[in-house]
Every structure is written in structure tokens, then in C-alpha cells.
Chain A
Amino acid sequence: MSLHESAAPDQYLLRELMDGLSLPGRASGLSLGIVGSATYPPLPPGECLRTCLDGDPGEVASRGCPFLAGAARNNIDLKHLRDGRCPKDYQVAAQHTILGGEPAVLITVEGKPETRGATGNLPARAPRGAAEAELLGHLDTAARLVQSVGLLLEENQGFANEVLQNYEQLNLIFDLTQQISQVTDVQAIERLLLQRVARLLVSECVYLLTSTYGSAGASPSQYGSAGASPSPNECRAYAAGGDTQGPKPVPPISPDEVKAAADFVRRTRQVHVRLVGDQHVIAGPLVRLDDKVDVMLAVRRASQGVFYSGDMMLIESVLAFGGQIISNTELHERLRRMSLEVTRAMVSAIDKKDHYTSGHSERVGFLTRLTAAELGISSAEQQNMGWSGLLHDVGKIGIPEEILCKPGKLTAEEFEVIKQHPRMGYEILKPIASMGVILDGILHHHEYPDGSGYPAGLAGEAIPLVARIIHVADTFDALTSTRSYRRAFGIEQALEIIREDQGTRIDAEVAEAFFQALAAYRRDAPDDFAARFARVNVAAGPRTGRPSEREVEHANP
């Protein structure tokens, strides 16, 4: 143990000083003890009187010493000390003095008298010598020095603690920025923010009040008291220390105070600190998309200390950052959904024009994705392939309706026109950057492995994988759909037809994956499967037999 590690460095120094002053032999057995002042509380028995310690500390501590006991109670009666008896027959004297600028009681103890056990008949204390007075003067100066050194050390420790805390916060903020970029759903971002704010603010409980707080069911004033609590939609909570049950979403202050703090933050959009009872509350705005303001609220017990401006700056910047990320994520999600809906609407219009069973493109997109997953393709790529399947026939928008929907046999010229649709779709979407795989699927979904397809007449592996997948999905859905010129085939039959064409018009490997994926889907989600393929096996029932050459050729132009 050294000076800068001591919890109370000034006491440590003072004790060292007294040890030095009371070394045996110095000033003929003079010993000093300080038994209480405002700064130096009474030391425990066995420590305050060095003289007794020199003898047998264990004995004194166990038998008790009236002086030490009195000192320990901080009940220092000089008269009592003068008149009392030291169990070791030391000569004891006490006097009021000033130490470090504060009143203190100084006890001096002098060497053993010649006769032991002559209690009640102690020799009178010798008059204090000049050396002793000088010593006491030095002691006072030393005590003042010790006190200021103690203050400096304390300050030093305070700085060190602050630096350590800043290091910790810096790391927490750095981690937050790193982790938040890897999270893509809003709920997870909210959880991360709650958790990090709890650690940054050293707060046990942190709450996120949404803009609907107090709107569902009970009013805020009923929360907690009447057993009602806010729903998770109104208030999300986080308790430090990993409460597995999840904390109750009821802040430990009155719901009206919660609402008042939240209202203030919503109105001013500023961080707000208030004292509620013996709890410190800090609240800040989390601005989301469409300018909705959620309020994050953290509570500390009085013993954990007030929230300072540093805490306010911290929560403000974390929430500003978090709000930005959440808004971006929400916006991204909204745009994604919107473009999907627009595309679906467009695609369904094309399906209608072609008199397909409604939902054809949608199903081809779905089956394409299912097959891509079965082939072990990355999820981002699966998504792109799904889009490609959804859009594969977009070029039909440029094919005249009288050709597209002609019930009878197509002339060679008419068929040439129909064969334009993959390239038309490709041309329509080409200006949109980042379409890559989507364009491949659109342009090549009528290529056959044997090279007899269109528009490029690619063969085998030269056909982009996405196009081979779409081709299988498209063929299956066309066969199981009723057309103006024929009834639908049943599922088993459609699969059988595809199986027969494996290697010639159908990519063998992709077809296997398709069979597996469809069987798994049918087994694992029978209700979904039935809903998606409801049109099959309805009305007059599926037709049987092999489609004519013309039907296969044009099953899915």
C-alpha cells in the first residue's frame, strides 16, 4: 500500500507522520495520538494510541481502554481522560489543539512509571518541555501540509476516474457506431440504443416512449397504480444487467411525471433533466421518419448521482445519430415496399393483358426464389432472381393484344412478333442501373439447354443460371394454368412433362432443385401451397395426357 493507492491519502500520511514522531526513544517515550476532529474521525481502538500499540495491541484491543473507548465514541472528555486510568499504567494527558486548521484532541502518553500497579497513585505529569511544544507546532504545520497533499491526491484520483470514464464512453460510442451499421431492422436498432444509453449513462433502466405513449387503453395516470402498464407499442424498456424476463415498461416514477418530461422533450426537442422525488430523470428526443418524436428516458436513483451536462451531450448525440439511422432504415424499407408494390401492380396489368390466370408473374417470381434458395444461392442474389422472375414477361407490354391473345394457331410471322418480348423487356429495364441479374433473366428466359430457344439461341451453361431457373418456373406455372385454348394440367402431370424435357428444353440440374424445393414447400407449408395453386384441380378437373407439340411450344411464350 502506498500513498496514491490509499483510499484516504491524508489519513494515511498523518498516520505515517505520527508513526515517525512516536518512534521509541524519541522525546523520551513521548507518543501522540489524535482522537477525533471533523476531518480526522476517531481511529478505531488499538490504532489511536501508539504507545499502547508499542506494548501489546492485542491485549489493549481485547481488554479495552477507557481512553480509546471514549475516543472511539468521539466522546472526548478531557477531564475523564486526565482522571482515568490507562490499563498499562502509562501517563496519559489530553489537550485541545488545532490540527490542519481544525480543532482536534491531542493525546500525549508518556513512558511507564517506575512502579507498576500503583493505580490511583500515579506520579504527577512532568511539565511539558520546550522541545515538546516545538514538536506540537511542527505537527500542526505538518497536518496542514498533509491536508493539502491529500486534497491534491484526491483531485488527481478524480481526474483519473474521469479519464477512465471518458475512455469507456468513447469505446461504447465507437462500438455503437460499428454495431448499428450491421443491424438492418428498426427494432434491433432500438434495442441497441436502449442498451448503449443504459451503459453510457450508468442508468439501471432506460425507456423508449413512442409517440403513442398513453394513447392505448389506460391513460398514463393509471399506469402502475391500477396495475395497468403501457403496451410494448407505447413504451419499450431496457434494464441493465440483462433481465431475462424483460423489465416492466413502467418507469419507476409517476406516469404523470413521465408524460410531463415526454411532453417537454417533444415540444422543445431538447434534452431535459429533472429531479422527481429522489430520482434523477433525463429525457431526450429520438426523431424518426415523418418528424415523429419518440422520447428516451433514463432514471437514476439519487445515490447514483445527478445527470451532468456531459450526460446531456452524450444522450443528445447518441439519439441524433440513432434517429438518423432509424429514419434511414424506415425510409429504405418504405421505398423497398413501394417499389415492390408498384412493380406488382404493373406486372399484374401485363398478366391481365395476356389473359393469364392472375398472379402468373408473381408465382414465377416466387418459384424462382424458392429454387434459387434450394441451389444454395446467397440471399441477396435470391432476392434479385425473384425480382427477375416477377418481371420476366414485362416485354409483353409491347406486343399487340390481338397476337398475344389469339386463341387459334399463330402464323410464323405472329410467332416472330411474340418472340420479341424478352428483348423488349430487356430494353425497357436496361436504363435502370443495378439491374444486372434481373436483365439476364428477362432476356434469356426462353433459351433452351439444347440451343433451340430464343432470342440468342444460347445452349447449356451459356444460359445465365437465373434464366434457366425462371424458365422452369415459368413452364410449370404455364402448364398448371388454364389458357384460352386449353385446360390446365394437374401438378403431377406438369412435373412429369418437365421431367421428360430435362436436358433438352429444361436444364436438368435446375429442374431437380425445382422438384426438391416444390416438394419441400408442399410438405412444410401445405396451406400456403394450396392457396397459391388453388386454381389447379378446380372446375372440370385437370386434363390428362401429354400436351400437343403446339401447346408445349407456346405453353409459355
Chain B
Amino acid sequence: MSRILVAEDDPHILRLISMWLKRQGHDVLEARHGLAARDLLQAEPVDVLISDINMPGLDGLELIEAVVPAGLVRRGVVVLTNRWDHGEIRTRLAAWGVHVLPKPFSPSRLSELIESLTSSDVTEPQA
């Protein structure tokens, strides 16, 4: 079981991701925008951050820049994004070692990704 924060401004998609992850036995925190996500992470780090890119206030890229270097995400970040800006996002996020899944996300691929991020022996926080 991993502790996962989901940051997503669409409440239905947020609920869907959260439901899917809880069903896999994870401990899930929900945030409706980047600022809320940052506050939650500052209160307590998580294993995996799943984030949307386009969010009001603090967007996904700003959120990642704020929390990943601070070591608030222990295992890895998965970005869910719309396909149209997929290529550009991938390049911009490559430096952080962030995984990108297009929306609509494949539930099984999301599970596999989280499994691979959390089952590895790497224990130090992401750089």
C-alpha cells in the first residue's frame, strides 16, 4: 500500500482516479487544485504524486517544481494530461523523471506504473 496524492481540478476524474487507486489498496489523498496539493504535501510527504497539468492557481508544472526538489514526493510523479500537449509536456518534464500518461488514462497502465514506482528498491527521494 502506498500513500498517493491526486491533484486534479475535474471532480469527476478526481473521484474516478481516487476510487480506482483505493480499490488497489492505496491510501489516497485528494486535492482539487495545485495549492491544496502543495499544502497537503508540505504537511506530510507522499510516495507518489499524480497530477493534472491545467489547474487553477498553481498548475501541475509549478506544483512539481515546488514539491519534487523539496523531497515531498518519495517515489515518483505521474502526470495525466490531454493528448494535444503531450509531446511538449513530455520534453519539459523529462528533466524531473516524471511519467506522462495521456487522458483518458488507462486504469491498468496507471496501476502498473505505480506498482513499478513503488516496488523498486530506491528509497531516497527523487532529485
Contacts and interface: CB of A to CB of B under 8 A. Distances in A.
Interface of A: 4-5, 157, 160, 163-164, 166-168, 170-172
B16 A163 contact: yes
Contact of B16 (A5, A160, A170, A171): A160
Contact of A171 (B15, B20, B106): B106
Contacts of A171: 104-106, 109
Interface residues of B, number: 11
Contacts of A4: 19
B99 interface: no
15 contacts: A4-B19, A5-B19, A5-B22, A160-B15, A160-B16, A164-B16, A164-B20, A166-B104, A167-B104, A167-B107, A168-B106, A168-B107, A171-B104, A171-B105, A171-B109
Contacts of B105: 167, 171
B58 to A, nearest CB: 26
Interface of B: 15-16, 19-20, 22, 104-109
A5 B26 CA distance: 12
A71 B16 CA distance: 38
Contacts, number: 25
Contacts of B15: 160
Contacts of A163: 16
Contact of B104 (A5, A157, A160, A170): A170
B16 A168 contact: no
Contacts of A170: 104
B107 A160 contact: no
B81 to A, nearest CB: 14
B24 to A, nearest CB: 12
Contacts of B19: 4-5, 157, 160
A308 B41 CA distance: 44
Contacts of A5: 19, 22
Nearest to B15: A160
A4 B104 CA distance: 23
Nearest to B107: A164
Nearest to B104: A167
Given A164-B16, A168-B106, 13 more contacts: A4-B19, A160-B15, A160-B16, A163-B16, A167-B104, A167-B105, A167-B107, A168-B107, A168-B108, A171-B104, A171-B105, A171-B106, A171-B109
A168 B106 CA distance: 5
Nearest to B109: A171
A167 B106 contact: yes
Contacts of B20: 164
Contacts of B106: 167-168, 171-172
A225 B78 CA distance: 52
B32 to A, nearest CB: 17
A5 B28 CA distance: 12
Contacts of A160: 15-16, 19
